[in-house]
Structure 1
């Protein structure tokens, strides 16, 4: 394992899935991810910039304040609310592109967390939406985790009663799933 020599601060720019909607303190994605990374000997702080209900447009309005915190990297997890509201996938892609471009301009690496829509939005909409993330990852040469809620979406045992937000076990499953990708990405920071 290649553990970085200096402490890293990672900003997680996201929505309720990052913020830890409905969970007690210490059970959010960022808190659990930081704990797991530290258990693996990584000196990493994961700062929670998640805002419940946020869309990709909200992320555009907040990216400057995230970058003002001088993170070593940004985990970008946005789009779920765009999909839930049936917003135009082209607009969501343009917003994510603006966020990524702002990070790139500051030399801040981005780990992009992919998102999918609910099946009720229709097959075509779902396909258009899902295609946003690999396209942006290819355009900018980003590390991509294809679907943030992999193994959790649709499983009542891993979600709160609303069926949309992961419970503590769901968050732990998301961290287990994303951890190898996060670690590989961390190994590229500062090289």
Structure 2
């Protein structure tokens, strides 16, 4: 085989390989952080909110993602259910769902919280949008009975809907005064860093599962 013929042969192979490799995602993976003040970044600059810092951490690891902040301070699961469709636009590739803390703080019946979260998960499933469910724990002052009814909500719903669960959104930050604002509830910038570091691997697994289905 002449050099020119060989060059043409290998060029043909390269083109065939490119065509058979399948479509390449042209845009970043679009995620939405849907939640309350813990997601919104209460009293923090926008760049210090959880979605922004998580996006940066993922990009630093080579993931092409964009994470929209759909957190609303003071939101309950009832409020989240009411705004779900317009807060999560068409074209969203995945949602990190974090709600329930304000329900517990207000003493809302855990059965109502579970009903609302159940409806949100069902609605997102209907729309074909994968969800990573971020759990919450009842504050100690609500008592053992309330905690027993509230704390099991997230595991039950994750199993029912077949979605991944991150058990406690404030893991590593709750009860650590140096990672909280003066109110003793919301994370400060260092607290958000700790939350991102703890949740990074589960989120990487989540986005890998999304990409595997494309």
TM-score normalised according to structure 2 size: 0.85
How far apart, CA to CA, are the structure 1 residues paired with 2:104 and 2:35? Answer: 14
CA contact (8 A) 1:15 1:77 kept: yes
Q: Which segments of 5 or more consecutive residues in structure 1 lack a partner in the other structure?
A: none
Q: Which has the higher contact order (CA 8 A, sep 6+)?
A: 1
How far 1:67 sits from its partner (Å)? 3.1
Query: What's the CA shift string for 1:97-136, capped at 9, x where partnerless?
Result: 1111110001000000000011000012112111000000
Task: Give the count of matched residue pairs.
Answer: 187
In the alignment, which residue of structure 2 is the partner of 1:130? 151
Contact 1:159 1:170 in 2 (8 A): yes
1:12-32 CA deviation, whole Å, 9 max, x = no partner? 110000000011120000000
RMSD, aligned α-carbons: 0.9
2:206 is matched with 185
User: How far has the Cα of 1:69 moved from its partner?
Assistant: 4.2
Considering fraction of residues, name the structure with more helix.
2
Q: Deviations over 1:140-173 (max 9, x none)?
A: 1110000000110111100000001000000000
5 Å matches for 1:97-108?
A: 97-108=118-129
Structure of greater Rg: 2
The CA distance in 1 between the partners of 2:178 and 2:111, in whole Å, is 33
Runs of at least 5 residues in structure 2 that lack an aligned partner in the other structure:
1-23
Distance of 2:146 and 2:91 partners within structure 1: 36
Given candidates 4, 11, 14, the residue that maps to 2:35 is 14
Which region of structure 1 is more displaced relative to structure 2, 67-76 or 168-177? 67-76
